[in-house]
Structure 1
Amino acid sequence: MELTCLAVDDEPLALDLMRSYISKVPYLRLLQTCSSALEAMSVLRNQQVDVLFLDIEMPDLTGIQLLQAMGPQKPAVIFTTAYPQYALDGFTLDAVDYLLKPIPFERFLKAVNKVHDWAQLLAPQVTLQPGQHGANGKESEDFIFVKADYKTLRINFKDILLIEGLKDYVIIHTPAKKIITLLSMGKIMEKLPEHTFARVHRSYIVSLPHIESIEKSRIKIKDQEIPIGDSYREEFMRWVESKNL
């Protein structure tokens, strides 16, 4: 799995070191280096960045301020700084690691391996099941990993009853519990097999095999009633009609 990188530092020698270190790691690809946080903001708006190597003490805008300005969908951040006093701030802002200059390559490698392992863990695991395909024509998946309660949880598709959207989060309903994770409805829908799940409302995705009944504009699954949104009704009812005897 390749990870794209952006290095931000106002010291040219520090950027040279990041270029050298990144070039030594096969799964890292350097997109660009920036000498200021303001320059980095422009890059982040226009390019997909997986890992951000970020200095803290920079003119005009600090690395901490740049991270605070980012939305929830931000890259993995590894701080690279000469100032240990910002470590608590960095981890409060969910930085993956905090590297103190001068940075040994072994310490750099440990930090990027952490990001790489995490990315692989969150990538959906595929099991080959001939004849079943997901939304993008790929072989369907048996499960996904999601981050919740400071853990990474495996959730089998067959255990999902429905998924409820709540602003920037989704609530995954299973028979045993509800799992809340930071994820958009559109993003999780991309990971679900289309033959098993359907979006029936702006705020709801349902597991088709778990539907117990459909009445007027409501779907019943266990003790939950899910509304069918106007913009989703036609497609969903076509699926219902295809199952009618």
Structure 2
Amino acid sequence: MKEKLTCYIIDDEHLAQEILEEYVSKVPFLELKGTFMSPLEAASQLKEDQPDLLFLDINMPGLNGLSFIPMLNPKPMIILTTAYDQYALQAFDLEVRDYLVKPFSFERFYQGVLRLYQEQSSRQLPAQKATKPDAPEEVDYIFLKVGHRIQKLAVQDIRYVEGMKDYLRINTAHDKVMTLLSFAQLEDLLPAARFARVHRSYLVALDKIDHIEKNRIWMGNQVIPISDTYSDSFYKKLKGLA
């Protein structure tokens, strides 16, 4: 199992830096290698250290965080830390691993980094993972903020989820629920074995799929595309269910 994820903090606000440094210090599997005020300041050191993970702000002087991401080679895992939620869809087009809207709690921070740590660790143990499948996750329902109320939603009722700019539209057999969440935040709540991201704008419940044809999923009359970005992981998940 991977011992630690090395990380950088790139944020032009001193208070935001201090909060992230405190959060990182509480997590045994994170190792902070550097804190920087801008992408330009971090660029040369990035090539030398090649950290596993970047905590990256968006609005910074000199170079925007979203503009910086395509320049990274090799590209580490990236968690965006921003005061603005309107860039979520653009961020996930850039394959950002998580999107934290300030101010975020340590619990929310820990959920995100733990998921990445577990993913990285499992990739190092393919043989063990193949012979010892994960135990089923018992999650019957989740709670979501919908408008001015907190709504209980049965996991079994979810058919698919569609990205709608700043919102997610959760489609069930009986209703459509709009909630102000990112896909990453919703995936943290749902049992991973039962759901799969298939497109930057879609997440599906595997047991609700009727059939798949020409990289498209049929759920009744609903047709959902499977993008190249997510096709490998989606089909691997399907094989694991066979």
Task: Identify the match of residue 233 of structure 2 among 146, 150, 153.
Answer: 150
Following superposition, the deviation at residue 59 of structure 1 comes to 0.4
Is the partner of 2:87 in helix, strand or coil?
Answer: helix
Instruction: Name the amino acid aligned to 2:34.
Output: Q
Is the partner of 2:8 in helix, strand or coil?
Answer: strand
- Kindly name which structure, 1 or 2, has the bigger radius of gyration based on alpha carbons: 1
What pairs up with 1:13-28 in 2 under 5 angstroms?
A: 13-28=15-30
Following superposition, the deviation at residue 45 of structure 1 comes to 1.1
CA distance in 1, matches of 2:32, 2:105: 19
Following superposition, the deviation at residue 123 of structure 1 comes to 1.1
2:94 match: 93
Q: Which runs of 5+ in 1 are unaligned?
A: 128-141, 155-245
What pairs up with 1:9-48 in 2 under 5 angstroms?
A: 9-48=11-50
CA distance in 1, matches of 2:117, 2:231: 19
Is the partner of 1:99 in helix, strand or coil?
Answer: strand
Q: Deviations over 1:32-71 (max 9, x none)?
A: 1000010121121111200100000000101101102113
CA distance in 2, matches of 1:78, 1:55: 9
> Judging changes above 3 Å, is the alpha-carbon distance between structure 1 residues 15 and 152 closer, same or farther for their aligned structure 2 residues?
farther
Is the partner of 2:16 in helix, strand or coil?
Answer: helix
Following superposition, the deviation at residue 151 of structure 1 comes to 4.0
Q: Deviations over 1:143-178 (max 9, x none)?
A: xxxx96134849xxxxxxxxxxxxxxxxxxxxxxxx
What pairs up with 1:182-221 in 2 under 5 angstroms?
A: none
Structure possessing the higher relative contact order (Cα contacts under 8 Å, 6 or more residues apart): 2
CA distance in 2, matches of 1:57, 1:152: 36
CA distance in 1, matches of 2:42, 2:116: 20
- Please tell me the root mean square deviation across aligned C-alpha atoms, in Å: 2.3
CA distance in 1, matches of 2:77, 2:23: 17
User: Which stretches of structure 1, 4 residues or longer, exceed 2 Å deviation after superposition?
Assistant: 124-127, 150-154
Conserved 8 A contact 1:41-1:66: no
Instruction: Name the amino acid aligned to 1:95.
Output: V
Task: Identify the match of residue 4 of structure 1 among 3, 6, 28.
Answer: 6
1:81 match: 82
Is the partner of 1:49 in helix, strand or coil?
Answer: coil
CA distance in 2, matches of 1:26, 1:107: 16
Instruction: Name the amino acid aligned to 2:36.
Output: C
Task: Identify the match of residue 65 of structure 2 among 63, 66, 69.
Answer: 63
Instruction: Name the amino acid aligned to 2:98.
Output: D
Following superposition, the deviation at residue 122 of structure 1 comes to 1.3
What pairs up with 1:104-119 in 2 under 5 angstroms?
A: 104-119=105-120
Q: Which runs of 5+ in 2 are unaligned?
A: 132-229, 238-242
Q: TM-score normalized by structure 2?
A: 0.52
Following superposition, the deviation at residue 125 of structure 1 comes to 4.0
CA distance in 2, matches of 1:53, 1:79: 6
CA distance in 1, matches of 2:17, 2:24: 10
Number of positions where the alignment pairs a residue of Structure 1 with one of Structure 2: 137
